[in-house]
Amino acid sequence: MVRTIRKLSLIALAAALLAGVAPSSAGADGPAAARAVDVPVQSTAEAGNPLVEGWYADPDVAVYDDRFWIFPTTSRRYAEQTFMDAFSSTDMVTWTKHSKVLDIADVSWAKYALWAPAPVFRDGKYYLYFAANDIQNDSEHGGIGVAVADRPEGPYKDAIGGPLISRFHNGAQPIDQDVFIDDDGQAYMYYGGWGHANVVKLNPDMTSLDTFPDGSTYKEITPENYVEGSFMFKRGGTYYMMWSEGGWTGPDYSVSYAMSDSPTGPFRKIDQVLAQDSAVARGSGHNSVVNVPGTDIWYIVYHRRPLSETDGNHRTLAYDRIHFNEDGTIRPVTMKVKDNFDDGNAVGWRTYGGAGWTPERGAYSTMSSSRGLSLQDTDFSDLVYEADVTLRHSRSTSGLAFRVSRPGTGTEGFHGYYADLTAKGLVLGKATGDERTQLATARLTGAVGTTHRVRVEAVGPSLKVYVDDMAVPKISTTDSAFATGANGLHTAPLPPKAGTAAAPGRPSARFDNVSIRSNVFSFEASDAPNQFIRHAWSRGRVDPDVTPYADMQWKVVPGLADPSAASLESVNFPGSFLRQRDGEVWIDTRTDDADFRVDATWRRVPGLSDRTLTSFESYSTPGSYLRHRDALLYSERVSAADRPDATFRPW
C-alpha cells in the first residue's frame, strides 16, 4: 500500500540514488534510518510469479525502513483462516517469510475468516487492520479490527478489544479494508463487500473514527461494478481508487479503477486494469499498489489462480509493473511470465521424469541420465518464448518445450514440441508420448559450454527457432500437430559412451532468463517515451494516451510475403495490417494481391540506435525503415541523426 512513504527512509535513499549524492537519514517520526537497498526496476517479478511458496490472497504492501513488506490473507479453508503470515524483501526479488505475525489467539472476539490485512505505520507504531468472522448481518459479532505492534513483523495484538467497524453501513459488509494517509496527515479507511464501498476518517490515534464536516461517519463511494477489495493510492495529486469485480472463485475476477481530485471522490469508473489471461492465470484480483519511494516506478501486487487449479482457495501472490499514460490514466496490466531464478527457487515450476531439476547460483540446472520436463502452468497457443541455454556436457541434449500436454505420457513422454541444443547443433522436433519426430535441424558452432539465447516463435502452424541472432531464424518450418499447451524446459538422457553404462547424476544443462509471452506487442518510440505505434483513421501514427488501448497493440505474425520476416496485424481490427504505401504507413485490410503482401511485410532487425531494441526494415524497399516524424509513420531511409526515430521498444 502507498502510505506516508514521504516519511520513510527509502525516500531519501532513492532520491539520493537518482541524484547521485549520499543519502540522508529519515525524519524523526518515520521508521529507523535505511541501509543500502537495491531499488527494483523490473517489468514484472523477474524472478518468477508466484512470488512465494504457498496459497495466499488479498496482498497489501508497505515500505518500512529498507524493506518492502507484503501482508496477505492465508488462503485456506474458511475455518482455517486463523492467522496471517508476512513476507519482506529489500529488492522485491528474495522474500523472507515471517510466520503468524497476527494470530487469532491474540484477538479475543475473532473466531475465523481472518481476511485482507492492511498495514500502516504512524507515530512509532505499526498497525495492521483486518476483517474477521465474515459477518452476514448486524446481529453477528465481527467486522473490521485493528492490531498494533512495535515492529513490522509483529507480533500484532488487538488494539481495542473489539471491532472498529462491526455493522453494515450503506449496505457495505465490513471487510476488505484499506488505510491511506494523505499528505496533510489525515488517515482514511476504504472498505466494503457485497457491492458497496464506504470511506471513513480515522482519528490520529488510528483506532477510532472521526466524522466528516456534515457530521456523518460513513460516506458511500461505490463506483460502477464494485464488488469488494477497495484500494487507494495517490500519484501526482490524483487519487486512484481500485477495486475488484466479479466472483472471487471465478475466472472473471478482475481489477478496475477510478480517478479523482479528492480522497472521498466522487469515483467514476475509468477502465478495467487487470483481468485473467487464459494463457497465464485466472481470477486475478484483490490488489494493492506499491511505489518505489523517490521514483515513478509502480507495481500492482495481487493474487491469482494457476490455470490447473480448481480449488477456490488455491491462490498465489504475484506482481507486475504499472505504466501510466501522460494524462495519468493507467495502461492495462499484462501478466508476464518470467523467471531469472535470482531468488534461488523454482516456485511455480512442475517437474516430470527423473531429471533432478535444481535452482542454483541464479539459474536452473538439471543433472540426470533420464529424460525430464519442468513446466510452467501456462497454456499458450501463439507465443514468443525465450531462455538462455547452456549445455554442460558434450552428450547433452536440452532445450525448450512448448505447446506441451499430457506430461508423463509413456515412460518418458509428453505431447508437444521441443527445440533442443546438441553438440552438433539445433533440433526442432515433436513428441507424441515416447515417440520423437525431427521436424528440422540446423548446425550450430560452439554449442557446448557456451550460453546461447534460444527463442521460439510459434504462430499457428508456423514454427521458428532463433539462436543468438534474433533477426534471422535458424529454423523456419510448419507443423500443425499441436495448437496449444504448457511451456517449459526439456532435457534428454546422456547417452553412455561405448562399452560403459550411463552415469546418473552427471550435469546436463543450465537454464536462465526464461520469458514466455503471447505474440501481441506494443512498440514504444525509443526517443519519445510513452508514445506508441498506433493507428487512427487508418493512418499509422506515434502517439501518447492511446484510446482505445487496442489501437496500439499489434499481433506479430509470419510475414505475408516471406514467413521468415514479420507482419503487424492490428489487435483492434483483425485482418488489417501495417503497410507502407509510397513511403507513408497505413493500416489496411488485407487483400490477396502480391503488392499488398510485400508492402505489409517487415524485417525485424536490431534497433538502429540501440541494438537491444527493434527496428523494422521495409521488405518491399530494402534500406527504408519504419520511422516516426511529426507524429506520423513513414517508411524512409534514415540518416545517423534519425536512427532513434526508427528504433522501438517492444512491450
DSSP state of 169: B
Residue 330's DSSP bridge partners are 324
C-alpha cell at 545: 494516451
CB under 8 Å to 278, separation ≥6 — which residues?
Answer: 251, 307, 379
**378 with 400: CB under 8 angstroms?**
no
Tell me the HSE value of 429 on the side-chain side, using a 13 A CA sphere: 21
DSSP state of 71: E
C-alpha cell at 529: 517515451
**306 with 375: CB under 8 angstroms?**
no
Strands annotated E in 572-636? 576-581, 584-589, 602-606, 614-618, 625-629, 632-636
C-alpha cell at 301: 501486487
Distance CA 394, CA 117 (A): 53
Distance CA 429, CA 44 (A): 31
CB under 8 Å to 604, separation ≥6 — which residues?
Answer: 470, 471, 565, 566, 614, 615, 616
Dihedral Cα 135, 141, 144, 146, nearest 10 deg: -150
* Beta-strand relationship, 178-181 and 576-581: unpaired
Instruction: Taking the CA atoms of 76, 79, 80 and 86 in sequence, report the sign of the dihedral they define.
Output: positive
Instruction: Give the catalytic positions in this structure.
Output: 58, 228
Tell which residue, 134, 155, 149, 163, has the closest CA to residue 83: 155
Tell which residue, 473, 448, 458, 421, has the closest CA to residue 556: 458
- For residue 173, give Cα distances in angstroms to 119, 135, 220, 241: 20, 8, 12, 18
- Cell 490472497 maps to which residue? 57
C-alpha cell at 70: 507484503
Distance CA 441, CA 634 (A): 38
Distance CA 112, CA 51 (A): 26
**422 with 438: CB under 8 angstroms?**
no
Task: Tell me the backbone φ, ψ of residue 596, rounded to 5 degrees.
Answer: -60, -45
- Cell 460516506 maps to which residue? 219
Tell me the HSE value of 564 on the side-chain side, using a 13 A CA sphere: 9
DSSP state of 555: E
- Cell 519442468 maps to which residue? 374
* Beta-strand relationship, 435-443 and 425-433: antiparallel
CB under 8 Å to 556, separation ≥6 — which residues?
Answer: 384, 457, 459, 519, 520, 521, 566, 567, 568
